[in-house]
Amino acid sequence: MEIKAIQVKIPPEANVIVGGCNFIKTAQDLYETLAESSPSIKFGLAFCEASGKRLIRSEGNDAELTNAAEKTAQEIGAGHSFVVFMKNAFPVSVLNRIKAVSEVTTVYAATANPLQVLVAETPQGKGIVGVVDGETPLGIENDSDKKERRELVRKFGYKT
């Protein structure tokens, strides 16, 4: 078995969600979930089918993000995995909706940070074994850092 780190190329101003799922209707269900989450969200998604025709199925309301999701899903190549790129929304705004989609089995990452997907390859195929999300911490926050963090969350409108 070989494990490879696949660098995800996140489009400018976008966030990415990478997860696992288990059925051909995943692409349509994720589309509906994202589309109804916000009238301003732009997104593209791709799902790697693990049986039958074994195609990369895709949906989206933004051609650039859909194309990027297709390419990323192809690079990862793990059956029953999905990739969502989105703009005009943060993952925190859609993550619970995505986790509630009946075919979604797990979410590996939801981020705008540099992201690597760790993929194991066997004679049968490929599978996601984990992710590297962002970089290693440089220390522990102090009082000034806490104040800055709390102000940022308020600026985004998540706290009052």
Question: Is residue 79 domain-resident?
Answer: yes
On whether the CB atoms of residues 93 and 39 are closer than 8 A, the answer is no
Place of tokens 């199925």: 57
| Residue 149 pLDDT | 93
Question: Is residue 63 domain-resident?
Answer: yes
On whether the CB atoms of residues 128 and 20 are closer than 8 A, the answer is yes
Question: Is residue 122 domain-resident?
Answer: yes
Interatomic CA distance for residues 132 and 21, integer angstroms: 20
Domain extent for 54: 2-155
Select from 107, 99, 105, 103 the least CA-distant residue to 19: 107
- pLDDT tens, per residue, the chain with 160 residues: 999 999 999 999 999 999 999 988 999 999 999 999 999 999 999 999 999 999 999 999 999 999 999 999 999 999 999 999 999 999 999 999 999 999 999 999 999 999 999 999 999 999 999 999 999 999 999 999 999 999 998 998 888 8
| Residue 159 pLDDT | 84
| Residue 59 pLDDT | 98
Report the predicted TM-score, pTM, of the whole model to 2 decimal places: 0.92
Question: Is residue 160 domain-resident?
Answer: no
Tokens of 3: 């494990």
Beta strands 81-87 and 104-111: pairing type? Answer: unpaired
On whether the CB atoms of residues 17 and 84 are closer than 8 A, the answer is yes
DSSP for 68-79, written as a single string: HHHHHHHHH--T
Task: CATH number of the domain at 68, please.
Answer: 3.40.1520.10
Number of domains, the chain: 1
**DSSP annotation of 158:** S
**DSSP annotation of 144:** H
Select from 63, 57, 60 the least CA-distant residue to 79: 57
Tokens of 63: 């051609």
| Residue 142 pLDDT | 95
Query: Angle at Cα 8 formed by Cα 86 and Cα 37, nearest 5°?
Result: 15
| Residue 158 pLDDT | 83
| Residue 7 pLDDT | 98
| Residue 160 pLDDT | 80
Interatomic CA distance for residues 145 and 127, integer angstroms: 38
Tokens of 46: 């791709």
| Residue 129 pLDDT | 97
